[in-house]
Structures are given as C-alpha cells and as structure tokens.
Amino acid sequence: MNVMKKVEDNYENETICIRFCGSCPSYPGVKGELLFCARGKSTSPNQKSGCNCGLCDIWNKYDLDDFYYCIK
C-alpha cells in the first residue's frame, strides 16, 4: 500500500517549487504564494490551464498522486 507523505513546508521545498509552479500555466502568480501541496490552494481565483505537478521533484519525492494543488 502506497501511503502519501505530508509535504514539509520548508525553504528547500519552496526553492524546488519555484522551478515548477513558477512556470505552470495554472499558477495564479500571487506574490508569496507557492508550495500549494503543503500550504493549500491559492487565495486568487484561477482555472485549470495545464499542470506541472506531475513533473515536480516534490511531487515525486512525497509520492503525491493529485494535481492542481493551487486550485483545490
């Protein structure tokens, strides 16, 4: 059974996140908002326009299986 680990909200993960969320077509671009898989969805309304979650090193490191963390 594959158990999803909780994503740590730390500087290392935020640095990784910048590379993937920052270039994501669905990224809302709100200053200071990143690492949605650890912190929750964005405060800014946005729509599904493509997702980089499955490419992200954090997504793989923590065995995540969902997408669009910035939206839901």
Task: Kindly tell me if the per-residue pLDDT of 39 is higher than 70.
Answer: yes
Q: Is the whole model's pTM more than 0.75, yes or no?
A: yes
What is the tally of structural domains in the chain? 1
In DSSP notation, 14-56 reads HHHHHHHHTT-TT----TT---HHHH-S-SS----S---GGG-
pLDDT at 51 over 90: yes
Backbone angles phi, psi at 41, to 5 degrees: -70, 165
Instruction: Indicate whether 1 belongs to any domain.
Output: no
54 is in which domain, residue-wise?
Answer: 11-61
Residue 28 in this model has a pLDDT that exceeds 60: yes
Instruction: With respect to residue 72, please indicate whether it lies within any of the assigned structural domains.
Output: no
